[in-house]
Structure 1
Amino acid sequence: MGASPGLVPLLKELGDLKRIRSAGAPGSIAERRFRAAWGALVAGADPAVVMEATNAACLAAARLGDLDGPTLRLLGLTFEESVSVLEGALAEVSAPLSSPGGRGEALIARLRAALARELPVGAPPPFVEALARQPRAGVTCPGKSRIMLEPPENHAEHCLMVAVYGVILSPFYDADPETVFLVGLAHHLHNAAMPDSGFTGEMLLGDHLEPVMARATARALDELPPALRATVERARAILPDADTPEGRAFHAADVADRVLQIAQHLAAASLTMDVVLDDMELVHDGPVKAFHDGVLRELGLA
């Protein structure tokens, strides 16, 4: 059992939520979904409900961007019409999971039902904003200079994406998606107070690493209500190894996000105009396409 190469396009598409932004909404979609998930948890929402609503929204956003339910209704769609649009987006992007007999079919059914639900709005704990401001280290290796890829992702984006990937991967490891989601959200709590120096910094800290991380993690956990803190700590118990189904799903999600983040930079650097114009149809069909094509030929751009 384990993940399949057929999931990679879906994971890549979801990863772009770290880079999609819109007017009037600070930060990327991933950052805002991280903030909303923690706010809902602090407001007392059931973690399973938060997991379902967050993953459903992210799958729909992979195709629709910030055209979420509230925005569609603000623009004149009825509630039923907005949910139908979201369901169409989810159906398109989740095809690798929802094929008949596929491992994720039951999960996608749960997420589809969640598209009609709104999470309670709560004030997220202070560590959420700290993680949103804390950049990831880039590519580091002991004894070597750092490789910086701009713009860097932040820790809120990484944690949200690992949580979402973990849920998507959970059926392939027979893992409980709620636990994997929570540990994804909470696996970098220490970085709220601890700037990220990557693998290099961890090795240089040596024996100081574990106590420093423990103190920084405890500081963040202290910001949670007692019941939620206990739930998060139980979920975090899977972090040290990949000996459980939940540990395997989490670590699979974590390593996939780390590598796909770099793959995105490499793909952008190798992008060609043929792909943009031919495969992606940048100049797409419409009443003035023939004129557009003529202009591009005149300018030597096609």
Structure 2
Amino acid sequence: MTTLVTGAAGFIGFHVARRLLDRGERVLGIDSLDAYYDPQLKRDRLQALQGPGFDFRQVDIADAGALAEALQGRGVRRIIHLAAQAGVRHSIENPHAYVQANLVGQVNVLEYARHLEGLEGMVYASSSSVYGGSTKLPFSEADPVDRPVSLYAATKKADELMGHAYAHLYRLPLTGLRFFTVYGPWGRPDMAMWVFAEAILAGRPLPVFNGGDMARDFTFIDDIVAGVVAVSDSPPADTGGEAPHRVYNIGNSRPEPLLRVIAVLEEALGRKAELRLEPMQPGDVPATYADISAIRRDHGFEPVTPIEEGVPRFAEWFRRYTGLA
């Protein structure tokens, strides 16, 4: 059996692919290696995946013809679709990239899936950003999510709606995962943990938005991967009634004050941060907090990594990878 992992050179995709390979499975990875951030980091991740069972194709999921050609006859039975244009703030500056990757790309992968014989199931990435500016905490899958505060969030909600439509029309077993502030080794340079660590080690002022009055449901990458794989292993059954489509929160279910996270990172790096307090950024929200009761009930998901463990593990990798002392 081969699992298709889109966005395999990305942060979460790399870790998911590695977990599947460690289980002895075959992985077909695709990624466009775009320049949203330094492609060298993506190539380094791919290099770490090289070995028996891993095959990679560089392709843009927004190019339907190239995608079909790259995947033809590959024996795919499961899909974990993580390729996307990420970043809330970047969506304000470059909206068309999000339309192509997150909307056109989602349709192209769904179209591939619906024509695939023997598909067991498909998992795709959504985001906690779909909850918009909601002040009701924790965020529950039952909450209304029809007031996004960024284009990125709007595209992720649209992905969920398209997923439901395809599950209904073609009886595809689909699961969407709303990720909450993932961090860890091999993370992205635009993510808070990387930005903070780089600023601390370089002695630069560290921008802290909303005057530091922020909380995030920081979730360590190993916990996220365990949840993604568990969901992929148990796709929703088609009972002939409602569409075989589920959407779950996947997070640590423990919102951490941003200043507390910075303090743990300072300790791990052995340096104090110089804080530069900034106003709230457009499209941002003051707090996120995942209700994970549904994914815990249906898939046994249980995050086990507190920030006191996860942040030092990130810091150790970051120093080693970047060479910053």
Fold shared per TM-score above 0.5: no
TM-score of the pair, normalised by structure 1: 0.27
Choose between structure 1 and 2: higher helix proportion: 1
